[in-house]
Amino acid sequence: MHHEENLASAVAAVHSGFGDEPLDLAIILGSGLGAAAEHVAVTGLWDYRDFDCFPRGAVAGHAGRLVAGTLHGRRVLLFQGRFHLYQGFSAWQSAMPVRLAHALGCRRLLLTNAVGGIHSDLQPGRFMFVQDHINLSGDNPLRGMPGDIFIDLCHLYRGDLYPDLHQQALARGMTLYQGVLAAVAGPSYETPAEVRALGRLGADAVSMSLVAEAIMAGYFGMELVGLSFVTNRAAGLATRTLRHDDVLAVGQTGVRQLAVLLELLCRLWWR
Ligand SMILES: O=P(O)(O)O[C@H]1O[C@H](CO)[C@@H](O)[C@H]1O
Ligand SMILES: Nc1nc2[nH]cnc2c(=O)[nH]1
């Protein structure tokens, strides 16, 4: 059904602005984290509306732009903004940026997002390296895809990069936690009872994104790292009312740490 999309014109647009040598890394930037693109020596810039194959619609805090350039010697694509199920999109639609990155020959993907912390170590302002996920979104991006869709997800994330990344981040004054990310469809935040239940299921943090893109990356055999930035304690764990504006404001405070993690990751991944 929906696999008849036309990626060709988006691929041609990126090739004409950025050249057609293979890409090293694609990065999807979560809520409030878009400014991490400022660390890139920019060669090309496109509005998502320039790509016919992209879903239409934006969320506050997501610029809806694709930035191409070099970062620590690597050819990178940065997606400033993603597509969420709560915007009315399917998981397959929300994984569009991953299909474009793959069509451009990119073999490595870094996914970032804003999350609510459930584990007591995951206080606002901290990053979690995604070890594994629990997909409670009710959808899977491979529904209706061609080819081998019965993929094994046991080694979806490059967990082997964690020990060194953690050590090197510590040396730069940053503690990087490792944990399990749960994803729900949203857009309402959780109830306190849901957060208690998620904690018992083994979730350390909760989000409304990332897992569809991760599964699509697994389908293509791409190497994947997930970094979740804790913008708030999950519902019922703090007295503050949850607001997207606060998620964005706290998210922006993660940009500096993300820039450090990006630098370390670029070195570790290609050593
Ligand atoms: O996943 P990102 O886009 O980083 O943002 C997270 O923050 C928003 C809720 O405030 C939701 O979109 C949730 O998924
Ligand atoms: N589901 C969910 N997503 C978030 N994104 C940022 N904070 C949260 C949260 O508390 N819950």
- What spacing in Å lies between the alpha carbon of 177 and ligand 1's midpoint? 19
Please indicate whether residue 85, judged by its CB atom, sits closer than 6 Å to ligand 1: no
The torsion angles phi and psi of 121, rounded to 5 degrees, stand at -70, -20
Q: How far is the CA of 4 from the centre of ligand 2 (A)?
A: 33
Q: Is 174 within 8 Å of 128 (Cβ atoms)?
A: no
Domains in the chain, ordered, with CATH? 2-269 (3.40.50.1580)
Question: Is the Cβ atom of 247 under 6 angstroms away from ligand 1?
Answer: yes
CA angle 54, 92, 119 (to 5 degrees): 110
pLDDT tens per residue, range 177-232: 999 999 999 999 999 999 999 999 999 999 999 999 999 999 999 999 999 999 99
Beta carbon of 112 within 6 Å of any ligand 1 atom:
no
pLDDT of residue 4: 56
Output the pLDDT for position 1. 47
Pocket test for ligand 2, best of 59, 111, 207 (most atoms within 8 A of CB): 207
* pLDDT on residue 52: 85
Measured CA distances, 266 to 32, 141, 213, 250 (Å): 22, 28, 20, 25
C-alpha distances out from residue 141 to 174, 228, 248, 256, Å: 34, 20, 26, 31
**Does the beta carbon of 258 sit less than 6 angstroms from any atom of ligand 2?**
no
- In short, whether 113's Cβ falls inside 6 Å of ligand 1 is yes
Atom of ligand 1 nearest to the CA of 113: 4
Rounded mean pLDDT of the chain?
A: 92
Q: Is 91 annotated as a binding residue?
A: no
pLDDT at residue 3 is higher than 60? no
Which tokens sit at 265? 């990751």
Is the minimum distance from the CB of 208 to ligand 2 under 6 angstroms? yes
Quote the ligand 1 centre to 21 CA distance (angstroms). Answer: 32
* Better pLDDT: 256 or 193: 193
Predicted-assembly ipTM surpassing the 0.90 threshold: yes
What are the pLDDT digits (tens) for 76-128?
Answer: 999 999 999 999 999 999 999 999 999 999 999 999 999 999 999 999 999 99
Render pLDDT for 43-76 as a digit per residue (tens, 0 to 9): 889 999 888 888 887 766 667 899 999 999 899 9
Q: Does the C-beta of 207 come closer than 6 Å to ligand 2? A: yes
Ligand 2 centre to CA of 259 (Å) is: 22
User: How many angstroms does the Cα of residue 232 sit away from the middle of ligand 1?
Assistant: 11
pTM of the model: 0.95
Given a contact cutoff of 8 angstroms between Cβ atoms, the answer to whether 96 and 141 are in contact is no
Residue 158 corresponds to which tokens in the numbers above?
A: 């490059």
What distance in angstroms lies between residue 117's CA and the mean position of ligand 2's atoms? 8
Q: What confidence score (pLDDT) does residue 56 get?
A: 84
Residue 155's pLDDT is: 96
